[in-house]
Structure 1
Amino acid sequence: MIVEPINDKKKINDFLTFLKGKNERDWLMAKFRLNTGLRISDVVKVKVSDILTEKFNFKDYFVLQEQKTNKEKKIKLNDSIKTALNTYIKQNKLGHNNYIFRSRKGLNKHITVTQAYRLLKNAAVSIGIENFGTHSLRKTWGYWTYKVSRYNIGLIMDTFNHSSQKITLRYIGIDQGAKDELYSLVQF
C-alpha cells in the first residue's frame, strides 16, 4: 500500500472532528502530529514535563531525541497545539511526570504505537481517507508546510533528516501535477 499525505483540508478537518467526537486523547494525538510532523513512535512517549515547566508554563522549545535517528529535535510549538495541550492537560488533571497520551491500561503507561495507529487508521477509514498509514500525518505536515513555506524543500528536507530533496518530495507526495502548478505560478 502506498501511504500518502492528506492533501485536502476538508478531509483533515473531518478527520479531526471525527476523532474529537470519539475521544479527546486521540484527537489531540492527531492534532499534535499534524502540528509537529513527528513520527508516532516519538509522539506516544511525550510527557507533560517535555513541554511544560514545573510551574506549568510552556517551555520555549519541545526538545526530544528521535527514536529512529537518535538525533535531537527542537520544536517551537505553535499556538494552536499549545491551546489544545493546555486545555487537555488541565481537564485531565495531568501531573508534571504523566504521559500526555496515556494508555487506558494504566496511569503510568503511554498508548502503544500499534494502538495509536489502529485508532487513527479506523478514523481515516470511517471518513473515507484512502492510503492512510503510520506516516500519513507526518507526510501531511510536510505537504502543507511545503506549500505554506513557498516550496522551501530544503528546510523540510532538513526537518525530516532526509538526504536529498528528491526523497523529501516523493515522501510528501509532490508529483507532476504539483510541479505543473508551480510552473503556472510564474508567467511573463
Structure 2
Amino acid sequence: MEFVEPIRDKKKIEAMKKVLKGSNMRDYCLFVLGINSGLRISDILNLRIDDVVDVNRKLKERIIIKEKKTGKPKDFPINESTGKAIREYLDTRLDYQMDEPLFISRKKGAPLQRTTAWTILNQAAEMVGIKENIGTHTLRKTFGYHMYKKTKDVAKLQEIFNHSAPSITLRYIGISRDEQDEAYLNFNL
C-alpha cells in the first residue's frame, strides 16, 4: 500500500469538488462527505441511505454508525456542506430504497467498491494538477489536516481518529512532515 497525502491546498479541494460535481453527483458527494467526516473509506462505502435520511426522506442531523475497523460507535453531526451534497446527490436518485447503499455502483444494488473510489479520486486529482500520491485514505487525512489547521486541537483530533498518541495523529495528517520541512528550509548556515 502506497503512502498517501492529505490535500493541503484549499483551492485544489475546491477544484476537485468542481470536477467531481461536473461529472457525477455520487462521486462529488463521496468526496465532500469524506473530507468533512474523517471516516475511513470502508465506513463511507458501507453507508446506507437510511444512515443519512429518515423514513420521511428528510436529512438526518447526525450520522451514527459502528466503525468497521474498530467496532467502536461513531456519532457526528452532518455539517452544512455535507448535507447539501447528500441532498443534491439523492435528488438524482429519486427511486431509491432506504436500505440501499448510499454510494451505489453501476451494478444494480451493489455498493461502490474501494478500487472504483480510488480510480475516481485519482482521475479527478490528475485533472486538477495534484501531484502528491492520492488514494481513498486521502479523504480522511484531508479532514484531519484541515481540522488541525483550523483548531490546533490535536487531542480532539486524536480522539476522533482513535489514535493512541498525539504524535501519531500529527504524523498521520502530515503535520510532522510539514514542520520538519519548514525547519530544514528555515535553517541556513
TM-score by length of 1: 0.88
Contact 2:4 2:133 in 1 (8 A): yes
Cα shift at 1:61:
1.9
Distance of 2:106 and 2:134 partners within structure 1: 24
1:34-53 CA distance string (max 9 Å, x none): 11111111111211111111
Counterpart of 2:186 in structure 1 is: none
Distance of 1:86 and 1:135 partners within structure 2: 24
Paired AA for residue 136 in structure 2? T
1:102-160 CA distance string (max 9 Å, x none): 11011x211111111121122112322112122111101001011111x1000000000
Paired AA for residue 139 in structure 1? K
Counterpart of 2:80 in structure 1 is: 79
Confirm or deny that 1:100 pairs with 2:105: no
Task: Report percent identity of matched pairs.
Answer: 40
Return closer, same or farther for 1:103/1:180 CA change in 2, 3 Å cut-off.
closer
Cα shift at 1:11:
0.7
Structure 1 range deviating more: 153-162 or 115-124: 115-124
Counterpart of 1:89 in structure 2 is: 90
Secondary structure, counterpart of 1:104 in structure 2:
coil
1:149-174 CA distance string (max 9 Å, x none): 1x100000000000000000000110
Counterpart of 2:117 in structure 1 is: 116
Distance of 1:99 and 1:20 partners within structure 2: 19
Counterpart of 1:148 in structure 2 is: 150
Counterpart of 1:53 in structure 2 is: 54
Secondary structure, counterpart of 2:65 in structure 1:
strand
TM-score by length of 2: 0.88
Counterpart of 1:157 in structure 2 is: 158
Return closer, same or farther for 1:84/1:134 CA change in 2, 3 Å cut-off.
closer
Distance of 2:90 and 2:27 partners within structure 1: 14
The CA RMSD measured in Å over matched residues stands at 1.8
Distance of 1:152 and 1:179 partners within structure 2: 19
Contact 2:60 2:78 in 1 (8 A): no
How many residue pairs are counted as aligned between the two chains? 179
Contact 2:28 2:85 in 1 (8 A): no
Return closer, same or farther for 1:87/1:22 CA change in 2, 3 Å cut-off.
closer
Moved over 6 A (4+): none
Cα shift at 1:68:
1.0
Secondary structure, counterpart of 2:175 in structure 1:
coil
Return closer, same or farther for 1:63/1:8 CA change in 2, 3 Å cut-off.
same
Distance of 2:148 and 2:36 partners within structure 1: 13
Contact 2:16 2:128 in 1 (8 A): yes
Distance of 1:179 and 1:80 partners within structure 2: 33
Counterpart of 2:133 in structure 1 is: 131
